[in-house]
Structure 1
Amino acid sequence: NGLNYYLVPNTEPHDRAELALVIEAGSVLEDDDQLGLAHFLEHMLFNGTKNFPNQELINFLETVGMEYGPDVNAYTSFDETVYTLTIPLDDPETTQKALQVLVDWAAFASLDPTEIDKERGVIVEEWRTRLENVNGRLNEKIIPALYGKSRYSERLPIGDMDIVRNAPYEALQRFYDKWYRPDLMAVVAVGDFDVSAMEEQIRSVFSTLSNPAETAQKEEYSIAYDAEPEYLVITDPELSVSVAQVVYKRPAKEFSTVQDFADDLARGLFSRMLNIRLDDLTRADPAPFLQASYGISSLAAGVEALNFGVFSQEGEIRSALSAMLAELERVQAYGFNDAELARAKAAFLANFEQNYNQRADIDSASISSGLVSTHLDGSVYTSMATDLELAQQLLDIIDLKTVNSYSDEFANSAGRLVLVAGPEKEDLVLPNEAELAKVFDDIENIQVAEYQQKDIAESLMTDIPSPRASLSREHIDSLDVEHVVLANGINLYIKKTDFVADQVLLSGVSYGGSSVYEDSDFQEANMISGIVQESGVANFDLSELEKILAAKNLSVGVSIGNLSEGISGSSSKGDI
């Protein structure tokens, strides 16, 4: 019947499984009288099916300890609808029933008119709630601009509330019958089960499904990525800072061959080095912006978004945008240098090594999510072992010229969208479209200097302290913990565990906290942990510190409470 299924055995967590039903149909396939009904249908599948009428579905989920949200969920997007379950595996009957839930969702929804009418108000309230928060209001304006003059901008999943309120029952049934069919479905199962047994169960229940005698052709829709530059300025009373986003719409890269993996690595190295430079600018004195970053996200229809974002103080968004673009211009003019690339490669390799070392601890939900994504975008799902093997081979041969060439993706202004959003205040004037366009024109004509970088030390400490004798040592048998009292009076408790591979956790606490300070010092005491986190160590500022530790798998933090202060950290065994 054309249904795909994916099975992965995984023991984290024990005696649990993640199940997903993927429907390759979303709001973009709605007819003109169905706007919002793909999402409406998602809601309705929780309101009764053939084998779980009325509230029996919810009752079953609750009796086996599942809760809507953490264990049972669903979402509707432009191109897909996905349903997920987390189930216990201690009872074979529960597994069988859970698979029956997926089958019922796939083909046996009740779509009872009474329940449909009840659900209309739920969806309208969901729509209203979105408009009551700043993100919802911004998205209502940004998404149409992002997707341009395409079917996607006319088919937002939340839909048209007039249709949601008044659509005939037949319209909902029509979408279900037309698009919920085996050749547009996939089942994903990841968990602590026997693969052969799970496969047999899936084949048994899903092979009974059949496609309609006449299947509708699934039309492919497109998003333009070569349109003239566009500008959008938005204000909202709930925004507290000004933000600018520059989006370059480009054809999405494939990920199915070794060369694709190499290209993805090179692109990732470019992104990391650019973000480090932008981070460094936030610590300059004066800093040209509060925060800036670069990343890549998927839109739809084989198009991705190369995103630059910058936050500024009120009234400074234009200069902040200029500073961010000037840094991109510097990269385009001179590229990155060998030292930057070496650190980025070392950091990437360390991350692949950590993922491989902790492969037994990855949770089933993460694997399931990855399989859903690869099924939908047609890419290849790779194991941690394969990722590490390829990274070890390819990182050595990726050269600086290749990485620097990714700045060419921003050389063409076609497909560029510039968004500026800020607080709705009488005394705050945001740049208009003409002024934003001039920022880009001016950047093309400025002369930027080549990036200057200080020499970075290879290690934090040149003189390693010698070990000191401890005052006492005892083994606490009931906890299997070693208790050591150091010469300076610090109590040290050491316990060996196998909870997570290649991980060492450290925590330290002392009594005191903000309560020991005068009232006049309370605010400073309350903020000190954040200040320390943004500070360097010894003679190294934070930017230098991050570069020195680029290839290390570690983190360190400090905290202060009312009655105590503490330190915490984690690392691989090699970086303790």
Structure 2
Amino acid sequence: MQRLLATLLFLTITAALYSQQRDVESLPDDPRVKSGTLANGLSYILIKNDAVKGYADFCLAQKCGTVLESKEQTGMFELLEALMLKGTRNFPGSEISEYLRKLGVLSDNIIFSTEEDNITYLIKDIPVARENTIDSSLLILYNWIGSLNIDEEDIKEETPFVKSELINRWDAQMRLDEQLLGQLYPESAYAESFRPEYVDMLDNYTSKEVREFYYKWFRPDMQAIIVAGDIDPALLEAKIKSTFVTIPKPMEEQPREYYTPPTLEGTNVALLKDREYSKTKVSINLLKTPLPESYRNTSVPFIQEYFDTAIEKLLADRIREGSIAQNIPIANLEISKGRFLDIWNSENFSITFETLPSTVYSAVSFVNSEIVRAAQYGFTSREISKSKDIYFRELENIYDNRAMLGNDIYLQRALDHFYDGSTLASIELKFEIMKQILFTITQKQVNGYANALLSQEDNVVICCMMPEYSDASTPTAERILAAYDSGELITPEATATEQSPVIFWPDFAGNVAGSIVRETTDPISGALVAELSNGAVVILKSDVQTKSDTILFKAISKGGFSLMNGITPANVSYLNEILNIGGLGNISRPNMERLFSYYDLSVDARITQNTEELYGYASRASLEKLFHAIYMNMAERRADDSAFETYRQGKIYELKSRALSPENAFRDTLLYYSYSNKKSVEPVTAEMMEKLNYAALYEQTRERFANAADFIFIFSGNFDNSLALGYAVKYIGSIPGNQMEREEWMVMPNYLTKGHVFKRFLYNMVTPKTYMNVTLSYGVPYTIENYTLARFTERYIRSRLLSPENRRLATHARINASLNYYPEEIVTLNTIFTTDSLNAAALDSIVESSLSDLAYGKADNRELSQIRQNMQEEFAKSVGNSYYWINALEYRYVENIDFHTGYGTLISSITQEQLQKFARDLLEKGNKISVIMDGTTDDVNTRNLFREDKFIREFFGIE
């Protein structure tokens, strides 16, 4: 670990000398930033961001968290978080919430985060045009720092919600992480930070105990005020100095101590099981010492960032390619550098992947062989050259678009600086430093760093997480270690990386160029519309007002799996995974992804119920390759039997383990009740996957993309129309097309369930929680007016559900309204919650009462006015966005409806009467599907319990 640091510093100094820079030195702060520390220890970081006119984010950051709680103090920080909106010295009761609501701050822009080592209280998008608003916003932070009202009544009221939230987080992943912490670092506070059985202690906390805890940890010397947005930093600095200096300095200093994990000898293997975990996931962790704080405000982290990201991507490419070549099932591969198990004073280079229980050994051995190969023999000059190009392009993109960056980017930089000493240097300075240094870095230097990063004998942790069952395929820790060690036994012949085949962009195989039959201008968007000789329609929207050089693209055709055999809504996700598995031309999918990454473009395919689609993006420099990739996706789709077989084996295991997860059980049940055609939502089984005929499926999917005349091709961004049109003629015009064989989708009878359905059932869980879904629907015409009314309704109900008094009822809440045209014209309002059994009825009541308020003229007019204003502002911003025009042109040319003209005016003109009628129809005439799954630790005899229910009997085949 020290060798890695020494190597990094040596390489940094060497690179600095090559670029004629001085030795490693501290970097100046971004000129946009004002920062400092008051006499009482309070820090402040103020950042001017001209990109967000009229708004700013106000944040209180604190260097304390749940790891500081003793067993007897479980939940104290969460309880304090809950009390932050219950009253302070200057804002009694709910005045903070009311004040922010009057300002127009949405409920979901009040964001509190309590983690193991830090706490962040954030209010986003506060309008700051008026100075008194800035004063009041600072006063809220002032009150949170040390003027919180802590009353017995408020504690008693909030305690049940805090307990519910803590318990609902205790899922399979968290339980497995706690097992690992207990095995590796049993003496650390992280290993004992929370247990569900501890939460009852919350019932006994007195206001005196909570107040003492509050004053112990909420101290100015551990806190920072951060403001980012359209502000005058000098003015805010003066206000902070005059106001916050009155907060007293703590009488006794109590420095915050951070736990440092001890070095683990050798390679440690942890085999962890949980009965609700539904996959087998392996991680190989190379634990490091974090970069010393004295180097964090220098150019060292910039150079380290390049080294790390380059090695992460190059190693991932090799593992993906090799696993397919050797038929080793490895899925969801992630390679990253970060903290280990959220321990603050730690660093970890992690290779994580999913596999099968029966292939854990071969997968671990193979992955380690690639780690060893990279460590000992490095990467080729071509690989490294490409990694530099990719890194610099991404850095240049950030630099070019720096004037458009949101407040969240600057806020995160400020938090990183406060919490761990990261630099506040400007984007411009980072760009200039790396522009000088990056291309002077040699192959030898990159490979030297790779050797230091990937080679170590101690502090290695291999973790295998899997379901809690035993059979012949269950791995053992001893054999996992042996497999890992065997991966180091690679021969010199296997490491000849310079002789590895080089992947080049393929030659264009088209030989019949098309021509333009008709060329017009779309009257609504001003886009160029060209019909080609093969029947394809190409739409070029090239005047989008954005500084980004990214061009978005989408191609849509009518048909989808409504014209295919054996595909249903339940198995379409597998169809789309298989659809993209084979690659293009004679190039495998992993190698095609490497080319896409290098040339900064992407093209993927998907099939929905009624459409087949291609979608993706490209930088302006790769525009021609984007058109070529579209051609290959339609004319040169590639089958890959080996890749499919590896995929199939992984999915068979996944499907066998699927029911272990309560989330999956709830999702399958919800799907069943939501649709009237029960056959169409029959879950995919392992047996179905075993029998899947890849050749037949490949042929069906190939046919869906075979006729260019079926497709509308839409491009949006900053590009030259004549250049793009020439590429369209060359590449899209070469795709076979027959206008006489244009298709229409068939209407599949996958209709939403009508009427009122209520289903509540029990499910055995390790930690009981309640999953709840309420779906309201009503048949309405597919018009822009109904689309707008649906958005109003969704936002109003979201604001009610996420209000401070209601958001505590659910750990997770998701609200979505959609207007659908296929297979029927219908509006849906869907709400999904994770809560406890006692709060389910309250949440249902909030949805009903909020809709009722809209329906009968009782809605909060201030809330509706703010929603209207927010929608207008979002629309004004969106018309300069390429994504907006892709969707607007799809609506117009595929669905034959104009969702752009008059939309801004419509937002302003929607009346109370229109909203009332829309909500009243949904409430009084619409359909309602409520599905609630309550967790229980009881030994529920599923067959006997479900035997009483007709749906369950049919669904699970119980006689």
- Asked if TM exceeds 0.5, the reply is yes
The higher-RCO structure (CA 8 Å, 6+ apart) is 1
* Aligned: 1:543 with 2:590: yes
Write the letter of the residue equivalent to 1:556: V
- The superposition leaves residues 7-52 of structure 1 with CA deviations (integer Å, 9 ceiling, x where unpaired) of 2222444433222111112234445643432333222223222222
* Aligned: 1:505 with 2:552: yes
After TM superposition, give the deviation of residue 528 of structure 1 in Å.
Answer: 4.8
Write the letter of the residue equivalent to 2:199: M
CA distance in 2: counterparts of 1:43 and 1:56, whole angstroms: 15
CA distance in 2: counterparts of 1:382 and 1:540, whole angstroms: 42
3-state DSSP class of the match of 1:103?
helix
Q: 1:523 to 1:144 in 2, by over 3 A?
A: closer
Quick one: which of 403, 406, 410 aligns to 1:367? 410
After TM superposition, give the deviation of residue 286 of structure 1 in Å.
Answer: 1.3
1:267 aligns with 308
* Aligned: 1:284 with 2:325: yes
1:339 aligns with 382
1:81 aligns with 119
Q: Is the 8 A contact 2:284 2:460 kept in 1?
A: yes
2:56 aligns with 17
3-state DSSP class of the match of 2:362?
helix
CA distance in 2: counterparts of 1:516 and 1:178, whole angstroms: 66
1:396 aligns with 439
Quick one: which of 460, 483, 488 aligns to 2:529? 483
After TM superposition, the structure 1 stretch with the greater mean CA deviation from structure 2, 33-42 or 439-448, is 439-448
1:295 aligns with 336
CA distance in 1: counterparts of 2:569 and 2:114, whole angstroms: 47
CA distance in 2: counterparts of 1:370 and 1:466, whole angstroms: 53
* Aligned: 1:191 with 2:229: yes
Q: Larger helix proportion, structure 1 or 2?
A: 2
* Aligned: 1:450 with 2:488: no
Q: 1:209 to 1:98 in 2, by over 3 A?
A: same
CA distance in 1: counterparts of 2:160 and 2:110, whole angstroms: 22
Write the letter of the residue equivalent to 1:557: D
Write the letter of the residue equivalent to 1:274: L
CA distance in 2: counterparts of 1:127 and 1:411, whole angstroms: 39
Quick one: which of 151, 157, 163 aligns to 1:124? 163
3-state DSSP class of the match of 2:599?
coil
- The superposition leaves residues 57-116 of structure 1 with CA deviations (integer Å, 9 ceiling, x where unpaired) of 233333334344x41112222322111111331652443332222111111111111111
After TM superposition, give the deviation of residue 229 of structure 1 in Å.
Answer: 4.2
Normalising by structure 1, we get a TM-score of 0.90
Write the letter of the residue equivalent to 2:274: D
After TM superposition, the structure 1 stretch with the greater mean CA deviation from structure 2, 120-129 or 24-33, is 24-33
Q: Is the 8 A contact 2:65 2:116 kept in 1?
A: yes
CA distance in 2: counterparts of 1:428 and 1:206, whole angstroms: 65
Q: 1:108 to 1:234 in 2, by over 3 A?
A: same
* Aligned: 1:168 with 2:206: yes
Q: Is the 8 A contact 2:336 2:350 kept in 1?
A: yes
After TM superposition, the structure 1 stretch with the greater mean CA deviation from structure 2, 119-128 or 435-444, is 435-444
Quick one: which of 206, 214, 218 aligns to 2:244? 206
- The superposition leaves residues 523-559 of structure 1 with CA deviations (integer Å, 9 ceiling, x where unpaired) of 9977554334333222222233233333322222222
Quick one: which of 132, 135, 138 aligns to 1:96? 135
Instruction: Give the aligned CA root-mean-square deviation in angstroms.
Output: 3.0
After TM superposition, give the deviation of residue 469 of structure 1 in Å.
Answer: 4.4
After TM superposition, give the deviation of residue 444 of structure 1 in Å.
Answer: 4.2
After TM superposition, the structure 1 stretch with the greater mean CA deviation from structure 2, 77-86 or 422-431, is 422-431
CA distance in 2: counterparts of 1:285 and 1:507, whole angstroms: 35
Q: Is the 8 A contact 1:37 1:159 kept in 2?
A: no
CA distance in 2: counterparts of 1:527 and 1:245, whole angstroms: 25
After TM superposition, the structure 1 stretch with the greater mean CA deviation from structure 2, 497-506 or 424-433, is 424-433
3-state DSSP class of the match of 1:551?
helix
- The superposition leaves residues 100-153 of structure 1 with CA deviations (integer Å, 9 ceiling, x where unpaired) of 22111111111111111222222221222123x322322332333455533333
CA distance in 2: counterparts of 1:149 and 1:457, whole angstroms: 50
Q: 1:230 to 1:458 in 2, by over 3 A?
A: closer
Bigger Rg, which one: 2
After TM superposition, the structure 1 stretch with the greater mean CA deviation from structure 2, 377-386 or 56-65, is 56-65
CA distance in 2: counterparts of 1:468 and 1:446, whole angstroms: 52
2:517 aligns with 471
CA distance in 1: counterparts of 2:601 and 2:262, whole angstroms: 43
Normalising by structure 2, we get a TM-score of 0.56
After TM superposition, give the deviation of residue 273 of structure 1 in Å.
Answer: 1.2
CA distance in 2: counterparts of 1:415 and 1:566, whole angstroms: 47
Write the letter of the residue equivalent to 1:306: F
CA distance in 1: counterparts of 2:90 and 2:259, whole angstroms: 36
* Aligned: 1:354 with 2:397: yes
Q: Is the 8 A contact 2:561 2:567 kept in 1?
A: no
CA distance in 2: counterparts of 1:526 and 1:55, whole angstroms: 45
Q: 1:520 to 1:353 in 2, by over 3 A?
A: closer
CA distance in 2: counterparts of 1:214 and 1:355, whole angstroms: 45
Write the letter of the residue equivalent to 1:87: D
CA distance in 2: counterparts of 1:428 and 1:387, whole angstroms: 54
After TM superposition, give the deviation of residue 186 of structure 1 in Å.
Answer: 1.1
- The superposition leaves residues 172-220 of structure 1 with CA deviations (integer Å, 9 ceiling, x where unpaired) of 2222212212222112211233434444444444233231233333334
Q: 1:198 to 1:489 in 2, by over 3 A?
A: farther
3-state DSSP class of the match of 1:120?
helix
CA distance in 1: counterparts of 2:266 and 2:595, whole angstroms: 43
- The superposition leaves residues 311-338 of structure 1 with CA deviations (integer Å, 9 ceiling, x where unpaired) of 1123222222122112212223322221
3-state DSSP class of the match of 1:234?
strand
Write the letter of the residue equivalent to 1:51: N
CA distance in 2: counterparts of 1:25 and 1:32, whole angstroms: 16
Q: Is the 8 A contact 1:33 1:167 kept in 2?
A: no
3-state DSSP class of the match of 1:48?
coil
Q: 1:455 to 1:519 in 2, by over 3 A?
A: closer
CA distance in 2: counterparts of 1:36 and 1:574, whole angstroms: 53
Q: Is the 8 A contact 1:26 1:157 kept in 2?
A: no
2:610 aligns with 563
Q: Is the 8 A contact 2:561 2:610 kept in 1?
A: yes
Quick one: which of 25, 37, 43 aligns to 1:4? 43
CA distance in 2: counterparts of 1:224 and 1:267, whole angstroms: 24
CA distance in 2: counterparts of 1:467 and 1:209, whole angstroms: 75
Write the letter of the residue equivalent to 1:124: K
CA distance in 2: counterparts of 1:216 and 1:62, whole angstroms: 37
Write the letter of the residue equivalent to 1:302: N
Q: Is the 8 A contact 1:223 1:301 kept in 2?
A: no
Q: 1:103 to 1:451 in 2, by over 3 A?
A: farther
3-state DSSP class of the match of 2:334?
strand
Q: Is the 8 A contact 1:42 1:81 kept in 2?
A: no
* Aligned: 1:257 with 2:336: no
What is the aligned residue count?
574
After TM superposition, give the deviation of residue 438 of structure 1 in Å.
Answer: 2.7
